Amino acid sequence: MSIATALQDVQQQMREAAERAGRPASEVRLLLVTKTVAAERVRQAIAAGASELGENKVQEGRPKAAALAGEPVRWAMIGHLQSNKVKEMLDFASSLHSLDRLSLATALERRLQTLGRGLDVLIQVNTSGEASKYGLAPAELPAFLRSLTAFDALRPRGLMTLATFTADQTEVRRCFRLLRSLRDQARNDAPQGADLCELSMGMSGDFPAAIEEGATIVRVGQAVFGARPTPDSFYWPEGDTAAVPPA
């Protein structure tokens, strides 16, 4: 199956899931995950209509964005971000979907103030409770949102989560419903709650369920590009051979 055909199939599944939930399909955006995908293959997806791209690693996203400079796309950083990578991330990404600690917010604010620009951010919440996943514990979210009011350059737009990696759809949907509940409560309580409109949840294996549970952004890569190479068979830019995290 070609990349263009696979992209069309994902978009059709998104429309059907939105219809089942009684939602306009226009409420849900596709963030195409390009992790481990060569720039020329990404270019095929762009030609087929992809306009929002997400990367997990700065050392891969930055050179890939440079290779695709001039294409009509926006890049988001969706993986865990180290504070010492903030400068490089801001070179190519227009949003961050994995804000999870005040030290990172501080580093972002400092650099953004220097650049004279703002940044849309999503707060990552660990709805599965797994120690292997990044993100705030659900109980920590209200205080974290209050703390973000001190950062003028950061614009909180919503929440992001990774559901439990399991075939148990009841558990997967529990994670999605929890994130939606947290977002809805935050919109009522937080000073900037009116701006918390986004729910980024759902990936290649579960995005239809995420849409049915309220997702406004789904992060899909393998359903369009095919299975990713194993960590030991993929050469990361700048020599980083770290394991590829699940996505």
Place of tokens 């703390």: 147
Q: Picking from 10-19, 103-112, 232-241, which range would have the lowest pLDDT averaged per residue? A: 232-241
Question: pLDDT tens-digit profile of 130-174?
Answer: 999 999 999 999 999 999 999 999 999 999 999 999 999 999 999
**For residue 164, what pLDDT is reported?**
92
Q: What are phi and psi of 91, to 5 degrees?
A: -70, -25
Mean pLDDT of the chain: 91
Indicate the angle between helix axes 58-67 and 39-47, nearest 10 degrees: 60
Confidence of residue 247 (pLDDT cuts 50, 70, 90): very low
CB 144 within 8 Å of CB 182: no
**For residue 194, what pLDDT is reported?**
58
Q: How far is CA 175 from CA 85, 121, 148, 164, 205, in A?
A: 29, 20, 24, 7, 14
Q: What are phi and psi of 194, to 5 degrees?
A: -65, -25
CB 207 within 8 Å of CB 161: no
CATH class, 3-226 region: alpha beta
Confidence of residue 56 (pLDDT cuts 50, 70, 90): very high
**For residue 223, what pLDDT is reported?**
97
> Any idea where the domains of the chain sit in the sequence?
3-226
Mean pLDDT of 211-228: 96
Q: What are phi and psi of 101, to 5 degrees?
A: -160, 155
**For residue 230, what pLDDT is reported?**
55
Question: pLDDT tens-digit profile of 103-130?
Answer: 999 999 999 999 999 999 999 999 999 9
What is the torsional sign of CA 33, 160, 72, 30? positive
Confidence of residue 74 (pLDDT cuts 50, 70, 90): very high
Euclidean distance between CA atoms 109 and 129, whole angstroms: 28
Mean pLDDT of 11-39: 97
Highest mean pLDDT among 136-150, 177-191, 233-247: 136-150
Beta bridge mates, 159: 123, 199
Confidence of residue 193 (pLDDT cuts 50, 70, 90): low
3-state helix, strand, coil in the chain (%, to 5): 45, 15, 40
Q: 177, exposed or middle or buried, with CB in 10 Å at 0-12, 13-18, 19+?
A: middle
